[in-house]
Amino acid sequence: DAKTTQPTSMDCAEGRAANLPCNHSTISGNEYVYWYRQIHSQGPQYIIHGLKNNETNEMASLIITEDRKSSTLILPHATLRDTAVYYCITSGTYKYIFGTGTRLKVLA
Amino acid sequence: EAQVTQNPRYLITVTGKKLTVTCSQNMNHEYMSWYRQDPGLGLRQIYYSMNVEVTDKGDVPEGYKVSRKEKRNFPLILESPSPNQTSLYFCASSAGTGAGANVLTFGAGSRLTVL
C-alpha cells in the first residue's frame, strides 16, 4: 500500500498557482519527500525533494509542514504543459512506493 | 546526455516465450530498479539493485528475474511470460549512496504485450 495519500484529480487555470497536497502521516525521521510527474505514458520526471525544510527550484516549490506529516507541491504559474500525473513519495531506503498520484489538468 | 535506455520500447510476444528487457545507464549510478505500471495501480516496484551483484525484491517480483553483472546494465528477464505480465515497464537509476536523497532517473518505458 502507498504510504502517501493524494487527491485523485485537480484542475488549475493556466497562469495560476497549482497547489498539490500530499499526506504522509507515517513518515519516519530519515525519509525524504519526493515529487515526480508523468506526462502521458512517458517515464516519470523528477521535480523536487525535501527532508524538513521548504525547498524551491526552477520547476516548483515544496512546502513541508513542521510535523512532516504532509506537504504541498506548488507550481507557481501553471502552463498547459504541466498537465500530468503528479506523484508524492516518501523514502529513506531503496524501496519506493509510488501510489496512483494526482492527475492535474491545467485549463486554458 | 545522461540517460537510462530501455529496449525494446514495444514488444508483442506469446505466452511462455522467454524474453529480456534491457536497461542501461550512462551515469555511473549505483542503484537501479524496475517498475511496472498498470491502469489504476500506479507504478509498482519489481526488483532493485543497490550495486553490482546485489539485488532485492520489490513489491511484485513474481514471474521476473534480474541480474546485475555490470554497473551500467540491469536486465529484466521474463522466463515464461503470461498475459498478466502485459504492462508498461520502467527502469530507473540513481546515485544511490544509501545516505541522503536518492533521486531517480527513469527510462522512456517498454510496453509489453503477452498474448
- How confident is chain B (115 residues) per 10-residue block, as mean pLDDT? 95 96 96 94 92 92 97 97 97 79 92 97
- Measured between CA atoms, how close is A107 to chain B, in angstroms? 23
**Edge-first strand listing for the sheet containing B4-7:** B4-7, B19-25, B76-78, B65-66
Please check whether residue B27 touches A, CB under 8 A: no
Mutate to test the interface with B, among A51, A96, A100 (most CBs of B within 10 A): A96
B contact residues 45-84, partner A, Cβ 8 Å cutoff = 45, 48, 50, 56, 58-59
Alpha carbons within 13 angstroms on the beta-carbon side of residue A13 total 1
Please check whether residue B104 touches A, CB under 8 A: yes
A contact residues 61-90, partner B, Cβ 8 Å cutoff = 87
User: What pLDDT, on a 0 to 100 scale, did the predictor assign at position A63?
Assistant: 97
Give SS3 for A3.
Answer: coil
Question: Residue A19 is placed in which grid cell?
Answer: 497547489
Mutate to test the interface with B, among A88, A94, A100 (most CBs of B within 10 A): A94
User: What pLDDT, on a 0 to 100 scale, did the predictor assign at position A28?
Assistant: 86
User: What pLDDT, on a 0 to 100 scale, did the predictor assign at position A98?
Assistant: 84
Check residue A43 and report its DSSP letter.
P
A49/B98 CB distance under 8 A: no
> What span, in angstroms and rounded, lies between the C-alpha atoms of A6 and B94?
25
Are the CB atoms for B24 and B105 separated by under 8 Å?
no
Backbone angles phi, psi at B94, to 5 degrees: -155, 165
Write out chain A's pLDDT in tens, 108 residues.
558 999 999 999 999 999 999 999 988 888 899 999 999 999 999 999 999 989 999 999 999 999 999 999 999 999 999 999 999 998 877 778 888 899 999 999
Please check whether residue A35 touches B, CB under 8 A: no
Residue B19, CA distances (Å) to A5, A9, A18, A36, A45 in order: 36, 36, 42, 29, 27
Nearest CB among A41, A94, A101 relative to B42 is that of A101
Question: Residue B19 is placed in which grid cell?
Answer: 524474453
Question: Residue B5 is placed in which grid cell?
Answer: 535506455
User: What pLDDT, on a 0 to 100 scale, did the predictor assign at position B108?
Assistant: 97
